[in-house]
Structure 1
């Protein structure tokens, strides 16, 4: 599910306003399913006001709560309800790369950019917030639901102050490293996008969005690197993961189907048997 487009299309659920290609959201999470598979095609800064949610990508699981902020990069991920099914009130800001670049260029003279760590390859990370940061994002909440539109300059000033407090916090150097990657303008390698996301049930356009490429450019770059079509590679990579899970874990076949990126157990069983000449259930017993 393209979370950005779903939220943008439902302002009655997700209170929102836009400014310079930046989408601001304020809502109580309507999630009912225990686990939802989602993906973000823009960098997502999240501030929990109350409650919590669990976010997972690969082997990484983070809790989004009011003690810290969270950055979700362009990626697919799982969003899970906590054990007590607690509600979740949250502010979310989607930032496109061009806007991040322009803001960072403005902030650059005032930030300490020496001795930054290598950019963390993890697709999600938490970041430190303090009382000043909280004051900044809480000051934006009253602007949601207003009948009278505010000048962009007022909102942008508040938002820039919020971002500057995040970027200048001494414990948030990993955020600066990530922004520097965007500033450098290097496209995310195709292999990096695919290895991080093949196990999610995504369409080709979703992979293209995550890689920040058009669909035609994505297909061209993919074939240039892998020497085969995206569809064939994705199926083979998912089957490889499924076979490993069958042989090394005690998970049920339905769990393995989900974790490998297949959305249909009968389809999975058919292509698995075609590939390995053995059914998934028998492979699990070997």
Structure 2
């Protein structure tokens, strides 16, 4: 599910302001299912005001508690509801690359760019939220609750202030490094996107979107790098992941099918037996 499209299409559930390349959101998460599978085509800056969610992205797991936050790169992920904290109040901002580059370059003379670390490879980048950052995003809540129209310039100024405080926090120098890389023209390699996201049931056009490429460019670069088609490579990677889970975990076959990107358990079982020559259950018995 494209979480950006979901948010934008439901302003009655997700309070929002939309300005050019930016979507501002403030809402209480309506999630009902224990785990949902989502993907975001844009950078997403998220601040947890109360409650908790657990995010699984590739091989990594992140717990987002009250007064914490993260920067989600274009990526697919699982969002898990904690039984002890079913409610989740949050504020989020979808920021396209060009906007982030523009703001970064505007602030560049004032940013601590010496000795920043290499940019992180992870799709979810945890953020330190200090009092200045918290005060910035909490000050936006009254605007979401007013019925009168609001000058766009006010929202842009507030967002710039928020981003500036994220950038100058020394504990967020990994985020500063990521945005600096974007501003310097870095293009995420195909392999980095695919290794982090192959286990999610996405269309090729959606993988291309995560890689910030047209579908034709994505296919061409993919085949140049992997010397095979995306479909063949993705299936092989999902089956290898499934075999590993069957051998080493107590997950049910249904859970494994879900976490490896197959449409459903019957589709998974059919493909697994066709390629591996054993059903998933038989393979587990032999392990």
TM-score normalised over the length of structure 1: 0.95
Superposed CA offset, 1:2-60 (max 9, x none): 00011001001001011231100010100000001111111111111111111111232
Paired residue secondary structure (2:104): helix
CA–CA distance in 1 between the matches of 2:277 and 2:53?
41
TM-score normalised over the length of structure 2: 0.95
CA–CA distance in 1 between the matches of 2:146 and 2:41?
28
CA RMSD of aligned residues (A): 1.4
Q: In structure 2, what is the equivalent of residue 213 of structure 1?
A: 213
Query: Greater shift after overlay, 217-226 or 100-109?
Result: 217-226
Q: In structure 1, what is the equivalent of residue 89 of structure 2?
A: 89
CA–CA distance in 2 between the matches of 1:104 and 1:75?
22
Q: In structure 2, what is the equivalent of residue 150 of structure 1?
A: 150
Q: In structure 2, what is the equivalent of residue 102 of structure 1?
A: 102
CA–CA distance in 1 between the matches of 2:63 and 2:250?
26
Q: In structure 2, what is the equivalent of residue 190 of structure 1?
A: 190
The alignment covers a number of residue pairs equal to 286
CA–CA distance in 2 between the matches of 1:187 and 1:113?
20
CA–CA distance in 2 between the matches of 1:204 and 1:95?
23
Superposed CA offset, 1:84-121 (max 9, x none): 24311110001000000000001100011011011121
Indicate conservation of the 8 Å contact 2:121/2:192, yes or no. no
CA–CA distance in 2 between the matches of 1:172 and 1:13?
31
CA–CA distance in 2 between the matches of 1:243 and 1:135?
47
Report matched runs for 1:220-231 at 5 Å: 220-231=220-231
Q: CA deviation at 1:253?
A: 1.3
Residues 86 and 247 from structure 1, CA distance in 2 versus in 1: closer, same or farther, beyond 3 angstroms? closer
Indicate conservation of the 8 Å contact 1:20/1:99, yes or no. no
Unmatched 5+ stretches in structure 2: none
Paired residue secondary structure (1:12): coil
CA–CA distance in 2 between the matches of 1:39 and 1:6?
10
Q: In structure 1, what is the equivalent of residue 235 of structure 2?
A: 235
Which 4+ runs in 1 deviate beyond 4 A?
Answer: none
CA–CA distance in 1 between the matches of 2:135 and 2:67?
14
Unmatched 5+ stretches in structure 1: none
Q: CA deviation at 1:166?
A: 0.7
Q: In structure 1, what is the equivalent of residue 29 of structure 2?
A: 29
